[in-house]
Amino acid sequence: MATTASTVDLQSGSDARKTAALSPARLIGRRFLRNRLAIGGSLVMILLYMSALFADFLAPVPFTDVHEDYVFVPPQLPRFLDEQGNFHLRPFVYGLDSKIDMDTFRWVHDEDFETIYPIYLFVKGYEYKLFGLIPFDRHLYGVEEPGVFYLFGSDDLGHDMVARVFMGARISLTIGLLGVILTIIFGASLGTISGYYGGALDTLIQRVIEFLMSFPAIPLWAALAAAMPPTWSPLQRFFAISVILSLIQWTGLARQVRAKVLSYREMEYSLAARAAGASDFRIIFRHMLPNAFSHIIVVATLAIPGMILAETALSFLGLGIQPPQTSWGALLKQAQLVSVLLQQPWLLIPAFFVIAAVLTFNFVGDGLRDAVDPYSL
């Protein structure tokens, strides 16, 4: 006994205070950092959002540029070796000789080995506004006119798929965020009211939740999206879709918040606050919601992938985002037919982005849940 006791360093003075001062936020951070999947997920997520933010910089040509001669060009890879086997330090693509095959009536794009278009980085291209504010005209990569370089291939109108994927990311990734903010507002406030006041109000809100949950979500969303006036601007549609998506999503959050508030209501600190004469408003916003906040964040993170998938599904069916605006679902709409997929498999590239986004949100959400609540799995 004595030997073990002597090896234990008793923490005292400033050391002890340092251990005790680890804030809950830092504890959560530490636990989160232990989860490798969650870390990897957050990195990919940051990359995805950065690519959406800098979509104009990444896109060599505007995403609405139509190019009749370059329809369904397969993805072109940058080349280092030319046909003669010479090595080029600067990667390049060959020019394309496009014509219609008179037997199949399909576009064929043969490489023209005479013309070489070197790929340059940070080239001058079309003008755009960085962050919507700063006028800018540099792009990550590009080739000189009249050359074309379709890294992800092109679609039925000769649109550059790189530009479309990243511009689509803007809508697909933000619609989930906006929807989740609305979900938090609806879900947290109604859940709190339901749990805190109880009684008839509680019963009413719970019945409404059960009622909304008994609808099949996608058919209901589709019906609401179809009921939108066709005269609405793309921006209005975008907001309307996120409102529609949060219309059902808030119910799950409201139930969880209600359960939390119900248990907080019985705790001593609520009683103390009430005894000290605090108003309901103060008890809810100063004592209860901060406690439930970590939970709300977790539920919200896990709700985003569902919204991204829902937007994708709606746009895929033609009820969501309309041209000229585009989103990942709207891009996948072209890939609806097997015959198209067999001939133009690169049209499925947006699907990888959808899966990556959903997967990373799930990993991050799972990591956050484990970090926030040590008793969960």
Partner 1 sequence: MQQFIIPRFLYMLVTMFFVSIVGFVIINLPPGTYLDVYREELEAQGTTTTEAQLETIINQYGLDQPIYVQYWKWVSGFVQGDFGRSFAYNKDVSELIWERLMLTMLISISTLILTWIIAIPIGIYSATHQYQASDHLFTTIGMVGLSIPNFLLALVFMVIAAMVFDQSVGGLFSPEYQDAPWNFAKLWDLLKHMWIPVVVVGTSGTAGLIRMMRGNLLDVLKIAYITSARAKGLPERRVIWVHAVRNAIHPLIMILGTSLPQIISGATIVSMVLSLPTTGPLYFTALLEQDMYLAGTFLVFLAGLLVIGNFLADILLVWVDPRIRYT
Contact residues toward partner 1 (CB under 8 A) are: 210-211, 213-220, 222-224, 226-229, 231, 305, 309, 312-313, 316-319, 332, 335-336, 338, 341-342, 345, 348, 351, 354-355, 358-359, 362-363, 366, 376-377
CB burial string 324-354: b at 16+ within 10 A, e below: ebbbbbbbbbbbeeeeeeeebebbebbeebb
Least CB distance from residue 216 to partner 1, whole Å? 4
Give me the torsion for CA of 282, 248, 203, 187, rounded to 10°. Answer: -10
- Closer residue to partner 1 in complex, CB, 276/377: 377
Least CB distance from residue 243 to partner 1, whole Å? 13
Phi, psi of 106 (to 5 degrees): -115, 155
- Closer residue to partner 1 in complex, CB, 2/377: 377
- Closer residue to partner 1 in complex, CB, 122/215: 215
The DSSP call for residue 78 is: P
Least CB distance from residue 168 to partner 1, whole Å? 14
Asked whether 184 and 300 are in contact (CB, 8 A), the reply is yes
- Closer residue to partner 1 in complex, CB, 87/375: 375
Least CB distance from residue 27 to partner 1, whole Å? 21
Least CB distance from residue 351 to partner 1, whole Å? 5
Beta bridge partners of 98: 109
In the block, which residue shows the tokens 């406690």?
291
Least CB distance from residue 37 to partner 1, whole Å? 8
Q: What residues have CB less than 8 Å from 161, skipping those under 6 apart?
A: 75, 150, 151, 152, 153, 154, 155, 331, 346, 347, 349, 350
Least CB distance from residue 320 to partner 1, whole Å? 12
For CA atoms 260, 248, 53, 39, the dihedral sign is positive
Least CB distance from residue 96 to partner 1, whole Å? 26
- Closer residue to partner 1 in complex, CB, 135/219: 219
- Closer residue to partner 1 in complex, CB, 18/34: 34
Q: What residues have CB less than 8 Å from 88, skipping those under 6 apart?
A: 79, 80, 81, 82, 118
- Closer residue to partner 1 in complex, CB, 93/354: 354
Asked whether 308 and 181 are in contact (CB, 8 A), the reply is no
Count of other CB atoms within 10 angstroms of residue 281: 8
DSSP string, 114-174: EEEEE-EEEEEEEEEEETTTEEEEEEEEE--TT----TT-B-TT--BHHHHHHHHHHHHHH
Asked whether 165 and 158 are in contact (CB, 8 A), the reply is no
- Closer residue to partner 1 in complex, CB, 209/261: 209
Q: What is the largest CA-CA distance in the chain?
A: 95
Least CB distance from residue 345 to partner 1, whole Å? 8
- Closer residue to partner 1 in complex, CB, 200/276: 200
